[in-house]
Amino acid sequence: MRILLIGGGGREHALAWKLTASPKVEKMYCAPGNPGISRWAECVNIDVRDSEALVAFALDKAVDLTVVGPELPLADGLADAFAARGLRVFGPGRAAARLESSKAFAKALMAKYKIPTARFAVFSDAEAAKAYIRENGAPVVIKADGLAAGKGVVVAETVEAAQAAVDMMLRDAAFGEASSRVVVEEFMQGEEASLLAFTDGYTVVPMVAAQDHKRAFDGDQGPNTGGMGAYAPAPVMTAAMLQRAVREVLQPTVDAMRREGCLFQGCLYAGLMITAEGPRVVEFNCRFGDPEAQVVLPLLESDLVEIMEACIDARLAETSVAWKDAAAVCVVLAAGGYPGDYRKGDAILGLSAAEDSGALVFHAGTALRDGRLVTNGGRVLGVTAVDRDILGAIDKAYRAAQAITFDDKHYRKDIAHRAAARVH
């Protein structure tokens, strides 16, 4: 098989690594890819949002399967463009991708089909939103309706902070068109978990539950980021809670989308709050999480290509999906200052030593300059380790992370601290 992978971050590097492990794969292309992905695939310089060029490339190279990594091309309708030309693609069409591209759409769907989530209201008028906040009080969560690279969410502890967030989004257009509407929702108490699932639009097969670390600094302090690390399995997602999440959230959502005429095929990601009353939806994504993919995919025993083909052909119910009895931890090495201003172009050393220790090093923001590997993004590398238990995986990941050096390297020292605390 010839595969085209769309994207160029850490998630796509993890996907490239797992996809090429399949004996079915004879050749892989990646657009645009990165230096790490180039070990597994031929990288081609096509923008992820240039659907015409991507379709033309896939047709020219007789690509058998295209896998879309990031959310933006899915929201643009890239999967529809491929399907219209008879090309097989893993990832939902534009209508189904609204589960991620419009928080207002997702909340309305959940309200209609009684899928558990926070109480909410949607506003495009700043004064109306602020009046609602005054009436309901704080803490409260303000979300930009559209895609804002994981940064369009403010958890406001006070009414004043919430109103300032409304002004920032609606009046100052901080996220452009993405914040032309805002969702104001109740603050939920509990522990978060990321539950990804394969789906063919009918059957839902959950993956191993993970937990992401969004805040920049130890102890879950500092600004939100795209994710400073992740681990799996997340102990908060017990076997009983996993069954509830599938029964109360994932399956009803896939069924609801089908009833609404938006067949959802691909990876459905539910960001869940595990509350005293059970799982409640924080958000939906329409693709693999980043960095969750970097810990979930190394635990997948089965052939990822076979699973993706089963999702496209609506035969997931008859496909085996097996998982390793192990734990995985990913520590993100970021450029100093991230998620604010950060430098690029610093030399990266020590990758061989990290990989020799048994870790997987996934490239997120790297580039080759004059034959040297250098930093080229806020999140530079994801260092992932797999071990038989969470403490072993933590130890292995951090030893590998310490072997890698670049100027002003920043990383959290407490990834998987909740799971570790449950062991001690």
Residue-level pLDDT at 423: 81
Condensed to tens digits (0 to 9), the pLDDT of residues 298-307 reads: 999 999 999 9
Could you count the other beta carbons within 10 Å of the beta carbon of residue 344?
A: 15
How far is residue 213's CA from residue 406's CA, in Å, rounded to a whole number? 22
Secondary structure letter of residue 228 according to DSSP = S
Residue-level pLDDT at 36: 97
Condensed to tens digits (0 to 9), the pLDDT of residues 71-86 reads: 999 999 999 999 999 9
**What average pLDDT does range 396-407 have in this prediction?**
98
Closest listed residue to residue 336, CA positions, set 270, 407, 241 = 407
Global confidence as pTM: 0.95
CATH 3.10.350.10 fits 327-423, yes or no: no
pLDDT mean across residues, the chain: 96
CA distances from 130 to 95, 103, 154, 175, 313 (A): 31, 19, 14, 19, 47
Condensed to tens digits (0 to 9), the pLDDT of residues 262-289 reads: 999 999 999 999 999 999 999 999 999 9
Residue-level pLDDT at 170: 93
Secondary structure letter of residue 249 according to DSSP = I
CA distances from 232 to 126, 133, 205, 217, 308 (A): 40, 36, 16, 20, 21
CB 87 within 8 A of CB 52: no
Q: Are strands 120-123 and 182-186 parallel, antiparallel or unpaired?
A: antiparallel
**What average pLDDT does range 175-194 have in this prediction?**
94
CB 366 within 8 A of CB 374: yes
Place of tokens 């805040």: 215
Could you count the other beta carbons within 10 Å of the beta carbon of residue 39?
A: 11
pLDDT above 80 for 15: yes
Residue-level pLDDT at 152: 86
Place of tokens 């008879």: 86
Class of the CATH domain delimited by 119-186 = alpha beta
187, two tokens: 């603050």
pLDDT above 90 for 149: no
CA end-to-end span of the chain: 47
What percentage of residues in the chain have a pLDDT greater than 90?
A: 95
CB 149 within 8 A of CB 74: no
The band of 424, judged by pLDDT with boundaries at 50, 70 and 90, is low
How many CA atoms does the CB half-sphere of 410 hold within 13 Å?
20
Name beta bridge partners: 342.
Answer: none
Amino acid at position 107, single letter: K
The CATH number given to 191-318 is 3.30.470.20
pLDDT above 70 for 328: yes
300, two tokens: 């997948």
Secondary structure letter of residue 43 according to DSSP = E
How far is residue 225's CA from residue 243's CA, in Å, rounded to a whole number? 30
pLDDT above 70 for 319: yes
Class of the CATH domain delimited by 2-94 = alpha beta
Would you list the domain boundaries of the chain?
2-94, 119-186, 191-318, 327-423
Instruction: Give me the helices (H) in 236-376, please.
Output: 239-245, 251-259, 293-296, 304-312, 351-356
CB 368 within 8 A of CB 35: yes
**What average pLDDT does range 161-185 have in this prediction?**
93
